[in-house]
Structure 1
Amino acid sequence: MPFHHELLNRFSVVAPAHPGCAQSDERDDIDIIDDVVFHYVELFDALELERFSLVGSGVGGWIAAEMAVRYPERVIALVLIGATGLYVPGVPISDLFWYAQPDDGVAYNGLRHLLFAHADTPIGCELFPDSREDLDLELRRFTMFRFANTIGFKPPYLYNRKLRGRLRRYRGPSLVLWGAEDHLVPLAHAEAYATTLPRAHLELLDGVGHSVVAEQPTEALQRVQTFLLGQKP
């Protein structure tokens, strides 16, 4: 995405696809979030990355948080963008899986509403158009949702009840970046991350939904880049 390409102007970037996403292979040994964490630990070890800044968005933010609390000595700085992963009583993450299938077989208004500030946001309509897609694209979308389902299909969805109590283990600097119009992961989750991580600060982007990196890549880049450049390795 443009966000990743722009980051390359100032940083070395590793942007792996989750198993089953973006045409990567699925893994039948992944059942819970811990399996995903070990998957990425093995990746970082293979790349000989001992210490690094870690940036994650959505489910990727959840994975990043789980990594940081288990291996805090390896994470120089942590950025969570609209991260799932927390259980916040009375304020559940919305049911993404309900909207995974289009209304009447073609309309993705509900899914776009969850993922973007508005159902008719141009980037949302580009990524999730109201039409039947070719078979390959439909299969890629199916495996993406299957990955999320594997680790997060337990109402109220996409969370690890133990994670919030473990956030204090990561004492490095953290940026919690959130779209003020996030309909998937309520603002209460951003506040929970920001108030529980010992050295976190919260920044909101007005007029932006859950897909911060897609909706406002330039502003997201500026916030993330400023934060990361301010940290010492």
Structure 2
Amino acid sequence: MTTHLLLHGGGGVQTMKAFADLLAERTGAQVLLPTHPGFGGTPRPAELTGVRELARHYVTMLDEHDLTDVTVIGNSFGGWLAAEIALAASPRVSAAVIVNGIGIEVPGHPMTDISGFTLAEIQAHSWHDPSKAPTPTATGPSPDVLALIGYTGPSMTDPGLAARLGDVQIPVRVLWGESDRIVTPEYGKAYAAAIPSATFTLLPRTGHLPQLETPQQLLDAVL
């Protein structure tokens, strides 16, 4: 059976829940939506010291559950994780989809530093139409953003990632919201260019979180 492994970003697992339901309904496939250890108030094991270690954690999970023909779909930080899982060359993973991923360094097109942003400020940079974003219920940095920085470090990049992506062997689709102000479309094009097997698709009228802002459009692009 085909399996889709959905990997959420710094906004937490709730940013993927509705899209997971939509994907399962459309495809009839098994859809897995884990919460990354350390997010949502969950414990983070000491051995999960960075993004590569978390990627290996998920590859081990696929092995333990004997899953095959897995397509990994990740948004933002989850896109970085999807790239690392693709690099792990697990025979269980057949394809990866990176949606507005972070993690690489792109000269002239740096990622916006959101470490001190409020939720409202993050939304303003993340949505094509911020008026459609959920109303923030808290002030200050989100606990999930703090968990994110625990994996990525303050820069939220790996200086060696872009060069390593040249070793990816499986098919990869890089999908990008045209209005993303966290990581711009030029950043996305550089992401795709670093992966020999990748294609790049620009998604109109959406930002950093297409699965929330334009889920049907993202679904069509994924499938």
CA shift, 1:2, in A, is 2.2
Counterpart contact for 2:38–2:147, Cα < 8 Å? yes
- Which residue does 2:113 correspond to in 1? 95
- Which residue does 2:9 correspond to in 1? none
CA shift, 1:83, in A, is 0.4
SS in 2 for 1:53: strand
The answer as to 2:86 corresponding to 1:68 is yes
For the aligned residue pairs, the C-alpha RMSD in angstroms reads 2.1
When Rg is computed on C-alpha atoms for both structures, the one with the higher figure is 1
- Which residue does 2:44 correspond to in 1? 26
Aligned equivalents of 1:95, 1:27: Cα separation in 2: 26
CA pair 39-132 structure 1, distance change in 2 beyond 3 A: same
CA shift, 1:50, in A, is 4.2
- Which residue does 1:7 correspond to in 2? 23
Which gives a bigger RCO, structure 1 or 2 (Cα 8 Å, sep 6+)? 1
SS in 1 for 2:115: helix
Counterpart contact for 2:56–2:88, Cα < 8 Å? no
- Which residue does 2:55 correspond to in 1? 37
- Which residue does 1:186 correspond to in 2? 184
Most deviating of 169-178 and 21-30: 21-30
> Which runs of structure 2 are paired with 1:154-233 in the superposition (5 Å)?
154=154, 157-225=155-223
- Which residue does 1:56 correspond to in 2? 74
Equivalent of residue 114 in structure 1, options 100, 125, 135: 125
Counterpart contact for 1:56–1:64, Cα < 8 Å? yes
Amino acid in the other structure paired with 2:165: L
- Report the TM-score when normalising by structure 2: 0.83
Percent of aligned pairs with the same residue? 26
Uncovered stretches (5+) of structure 1, i.e. residues with no partner: 103-107, 226-233
Counterpart contact for 1:72–1:169, Cα < 8 Å? no
CA shift, 1:132, in A, is 4.2
SS in 2 for 1:79: strand
Counterpart contact for 1:72–1:171, Cα < 8 Å? no
Aligned equivalents of 2:54, 2:48: Cα separation in 1: 6
Aligned equivalents of 1:38, 1:51: Cα separation in 2: 17
SS in 2 for 1:54: strand
- Which residue does 1:228 correspond to in 2? none
Counterpart contact for 1:110–1:119, Cα < 8 Å? no
Counterpart contact for 2:62–2:92, Cα < 8 Å? no
Aligned equivalents of 2:57, 2:36: Cα separation in 1: 9
Aligned equivalents of 2:147, 2:170: Cα separation in 1: 29
The answer as to 2:150 corresponding to 1:150 is yes
- Which residue does 2:12 correspond to in 1? none
Counterpart contact for 1:68–1:75, Cα < 8 Å? yes
Aligned equivalents of 1:74, 1:85: Cα separation in 2: 23
User: Which structure has more helix as a fraction of its residues?
Assistant: 1
CA pair 73-193 structure 1, distance change in 2 beyond 3 A: farther
CA pair 147-109 structure 1, distance change in 2 beyond 3 A: closer
Counterpart contact for 2:86–2:170, Cα < 8 Å? no
CA shift, 1:218, in A, is 0.9
Counterpart contact for 2:86–2:93, Cα < 8 Å? yes
- Which residue does 1:86 correspond to in 2? 104
Question: Matched residue pairs, number?
Answer: 205
